[in-house]
Structure 1
Amino acid sequence: MLVTDVRQIDSYYRALIGRAADDVGIFYVAVKTTGVFCIATCRARKPKRENVVFYTSFKEALDAGYRPCKVCKPTENAYTAPPEVAEAIAWVRQHPKERLSDSHLRQRGLSPERIRRWFQQHHGMSFQAFQRSLRINTALEELKTGRRATSVAFDHGYESLSGFGYTCKKLTGAAPTAAAHVILIHRFTTPLGPMFVCASERGVCLLAFVDHRMLETEFRNIQKEQQARMLPGENRHTRQAEREVGEYFAGTRQCFGLILDTPGNAFQQTVWQALQAISYGHTVSHAALAEQLGQPRTVQAVAVANDANRVAIVVPCHRALGEHGRLNSDDSGLARKQWLRDHERRLA
C-alpha cells in the first residue's frame, strides 16, 4: 500500500539515504520526477524528500505507473536470496545426498535462524523440509535408473530402508518402489518479480508470479487433477523454463520451445493454442479470437478460457484484449500485462 504515515516515511527516507540492506523488500521508493521505483540499497543518486513516495510492495508501484529502476532492479533483487541463504542453497544442490544441519551451518558462519525465516517467508517451509524434498527427488530419479531401493536409501543418508520408505510415502504419497507421480516446483526471479514454475515428467504445468492471487488454489487443483504431490526441485523442464523466460526478458527470445503439461477441456486447449499463435508484439481481441475459432462460443467463453491459462508469458494471455481494446482486470495484474506488451512492442 501507499505509505502515508509521516514518521514512517521519514524512517524509510533515512534508510534510503543510508542504503540500509535490512530494508530491502520492506519498502519501495518511487521517484515522481523520473517515474522509476527502487529498493533501499539503490546506488543511484538519491532524490529529494519531496520527490518520493513509498509503497510496501512493488506491485503497487507498478500499478501506479512507475517503472523498475535499471540500476537496482527492485523486482529481482528484493526477492533474491541473501548471500548466506544463497550459499546454503548452492551447497545443498551440489551435495543433494547429504544433510546440512544447523550445527554445520553455524560452522560455516551461517545463521540457521535467518535461513529458516527466509525459507518460511519465500517458500512456506523450513530449510530442512526443503532439503528433505530435494533428497527424495534425487533418490526417486536414481530409482528410475534401476538402482535398488536399499542402496539408494543408504547412499542418501537414511539409516534404514523403512525410514527412507516412510519419508518417501509422506512426501510423495507412494512407496519408493511404486510409480509415485511428483510435480516439481522451482522459484526464480524476473524483472517483474519472482515466479514459480511447476513441472511433471511430461512438461510444464504452471508458470506464475508468486503473488498470483489464486496460486494456492492452482497448486491444489494441479495436484488433484494429476494425482500427484508437489515437491521443491528441478528437472529439465523447470530448467528450460527459467532459461527461456530469462531470454524473453533479455529481449533475445520471441518464441518458446517448452513442452507443456496443462490439462483442460477441448475448448480451453483450442483457445490456448490460439493465444500461442498470436505474433510477438501484436494483440488480438477476445471477439476476434472467438470469430477465428469458428465455434458457437461467446466472447465471454473465450475470456474465461484465457483467464484459466496457468502458463503466463509462454501462453501469452497478455496479448488478448477485452472489450474496446482494454486489458481485462484479472488477478494477474494490469500493470504487468501492460509492461509485457510494451516490452514486446519495443523489440518486435
Structure 2
Amino acid sequence: MLFDLPDHATLYQALLDRDESYEGRAFVCVATTGVFCRLTCPARKPLAGNCSFRASIGECIEAGFRPCKRCHPLQPAAEADPIIAALLKALDERPERRWSEGDVARLGFDLSTVRRSFKRHFGMTFIEMARQRRLREGFETLVLGGSVIAAQQDAGFTSPSAFRAAFARLLGRAPGELTGRGLLLADWIATPIGDMIALSSASQLHLLEFVDRKALPTELARLQQLAKGEIGLGSYAPIEQIRAELGRFFAGESADFATPLALHGSAFTRAVWAELRQIPAGETRSYSELARRIGQPAAVRAVARANGANQLALIIPCHRVIGADGSLTGYGGGLWRKQKLLEIERRYVRAAPAA
C-alpha cells in the first residue's frame, strides 16, 4: 500500500502545507516521537528524515506509533461509529488494562460487530490495538530509563513473569537484560513491513532484524557475549543513520545504505555478504551464481549458509537471492516479506529512466 501513495517529497510538502485533500488517505509517522498524525496536524513540523508515511491508521499502529494528542487521527472513525468511539474512550481511560473479548462483551457490544468495525477502520481488532499499545508503553518506559517493574506496570501486566515472557517473545531478550547503557545499545525501528530491532556500538551497526525472526534470540545472545553482557536500550549514531536510510528506502527515494557496519563472520561469509551487496536493487541472483562470482562454484551450500547467517537485513540484501528455477526460497523474515521487498525494489528499476 505504501507505493499507492505519492512519493515522500510530495507527502512531506503536503504535511508542511497542512493539505486537507489527504485527510483520511495518508498519515505521517514521526520516528523521534513515536507518534502518528494527520497531515493537517497543527503541531510543529518534524524534519523530513524523521517522517514516514502510511496509508492507514492500522499500519501506523502496527508499526508501533501512538496517535497524536493534538490532531487526534482516530477521531473521524470514532465520530462515524459510536461503537468505536466508546471503545477508544475506554482504552484511553484504561490503557494498562489487559483487555479481552469478555470485557468488550460486558460493555454491551456484539463481538463480531466490534471486530468488523475495527478491522474496517484500522486494519486490526480492538484487542490487537490494546495489546500493541501496552507493549509499546513498556518498551518506551525502559528506553527512558525506567525500571523493569515500572515498565511492567505501564504495560499493564500484573505478573512480572508474564511481562518478561511477552517482552522476550517480542525482542528476543528479557527486559532486565536490555536496560541501562552499554557497549551496544538496542532500539526499535518501525517499518511498513514490520518492526525491527537494531543493535549498535558508538561507531558501527551490529544487527538489524525483524522482531519476529526466529533466529533473533540466538543472534542477540551471541552479541551479548561479544559485548560481555553490556547491552542496553537506547540509540547510538549508527542507529539514527539506518533509521533515516530505511525511511528513504520505504519512501521510494533511495535503496542505498551507507551506515557503517560491524561484520561478524568468517572470511568466506564476509565474501558472500560483499557479493550480496553488489546485487543492484530490482535484480536477483541464485545461490549457484553467487558461488561462481566469489570463485567457488562448488560451494553452493556454504553460500546458502552464509546467506542465512546474515543479521543485517536489507543492508546486506539476502532477500535478493532466489532459487535456480526463479522460485522464492527461505528467508528469515518470512517469504511474504521477501516478496514485498522484491516488489518494492522493482519500483526503483521502473523509476530509473525517469530519474
TM normalised by structure 1 equals 0.55
Relative to structure 1, the CA distance from residue 114 to residue 317 in structure 2 (aligned partners, 3 Å threshold; closer, same or farther) is same
CA contact 1:76–1:194 (8 Å) conserved in 2: no
**CA–CA separation in structure 2 for the residues paired with 1:184 and 1:208:** 14
Relative to structure 1, the CA distance from residue 126 to residue 338 in structure 2 (aligned partners, 3 Å threshold; closer, same or farther) is closer
Q: CA deviation at 1:325?
A: 2.1
Structure 2 residue aligned with 1:30 = none
Relative to structure 1, the CA distance from residue 74 to residue 212 in structure 2 (aligned partners, 3 Å threshold; closer, same or farther) is farther
Pairing 1:121–2:135 present? yes
Larger radius of gyration: 1
Superposed, 1:178-257 pairs within 5 Å as 182-257=183-258
Unaligned runs of 5+ in 2: 1-22, 26-52, 71-91, 99-129, 148-176, 350-355
**CA–CA separation in structure 1 for the residues paired with 2:206 and 2:69:** 27
Percent identity over the alignment? 32
CA contact 1:278–1:284 (8 Å) conserved in 2: yes
CA contact 1:75–1:193 (8 Å) conserved in 2: no
CA contact 2:286–2:322 (8 Å) conserved in 1: yes
**CA–CA separation in structure 2 for the residues paired with 1:339 and 1:118:** 23
**CA–CA separation in structure 2 for the residues paired with 1:171 and 1:199:** 14
CA contact 1:181–1:227 (8 Å) conserved in 2: no
RMSD (Å), alpha carbons: 3.5
- The residue identity in structure 2 corresponding to 1:130 is V
CA contact 2:142–2:233 (8 Å) conserved in 1: no
Relative to structure 1, the CA distance from residue 210 to residue 203 in structure 2 (aligned partners, 3 Å threshold; closer, same or farther) is same
Q: CA deviation at 1:181?
A: 5.2
Superposed, 1:25-64 pairs within 5 Å as none
DSSP 3-state at the match of 2:144: helix
CA contact 2:96–2:134 (8 Å) conserved in 1: no
Q: CA deviation at 1:292?
A: 0.8
CA contact 2:178–2:233 (8 Å) conserved in 1: no
DSSP 3-state at the match of 2:264: coil
Residues 208-261 of structure 1: CA deviation (Å, up to 9, x unaligned): 111112212211111113434221111110000100011001111121111001
Residues 251-288 of structure 1: CA deviation (Å, up to 9, x unaligned): 11121111001211111111111100111111111100
Superposed, 1:80-95 pairs within 5 Å as 80-83=64-67
Q: CA deviation at 1:133?
A: 7.0
DSSP 3-state at the match of 1:234: coil
**CA–CA separation in structure 2 for the residues paired with 1:323 and 1:296:** 14
Pairing 1:309–2:287 present? no
**CA–CA separation in structure 1 for the residues paired with 2:178 and 2:289:** 48
- The residue identity in structure 2 corresponding to 1:72 is S
Structure 1 residue aligned with 2:6 = none
Relative to structure 1, the CA distance from residue 250 to residue 188 in structure 2 (aligned partners, 3 Å threshold; closer, same or farther) is same
DSSP 3-state at the match of 2:207: strand
**CA–CA separation in structure 2 for the residues paired with 1:190 and 1:237:** 17
- The residue identity in structure 2 corresponding to 1:132 is G
Structure 2 residue aligned with 1:132 = 145
**CA–CA separation in structure 2 for the residues paired with 1:282 and 1:292:** 15
Relative to structure 1, the CA distance from residue 287 to residue 337 in structure 2 (aligned partners, 3 Å threshold; closer, same or farther) is same
CA contact 1:119–1:126 (8 Å) conserved in 2: no
Structure 1 residue aligned with 2:265 = 264
**CA–CA separation in structure 2 for the residues paired with 1:72 and 1:112:** 22
DSSP 3-state at the match of 1:132: coil
Residues 102-128 of structure 1: CA deviation (Å, up to 9, x unaligned): xxxxxxx997846998687348x5655
DSSP 3-state at the match of 1:231: strand
CA contact 1:76–1:192 (8 Å) conserved in 2: no
DSSP 3-state at the match of 1:252: coil
- The residue identity in structure 2 corresponding to 1:346 is R
DSSP 3-state at the match of 2:328: coil
Relative to structure 1, the CA distance from residue 226 to residue 114 in structure 2 (aligned partners, 3 Å threshold; closer, same or farther) is same
**CA–CA separation in structure 1 for the residues paired with 2:258 and 2:57:** 27
Structure 2 residue aligned with 1:318 = 319
Residues 289-324 of structure 1: CA deviation (Å, up to 9, x unaligned): 101111365211101100100011111011111232
Relative to structure 1, the CA distance from residue 270 to residue 119 in structure 2 (aligned partners, 3 Å threshold; closer, same or farther) is farther
**CA–CA separation in structure 2 for the residues paired with 1:291 and 1:255:** 25
Structure 2 residue aligned with 1:77 = 61
Structure 2 residue aligned with 1:332 = 333
**CA–CA separation in structure 2 for the residues paired with 1:129 and 1:188:** 15
- The residue identity in structure 1 corresponding to 2:230 is R
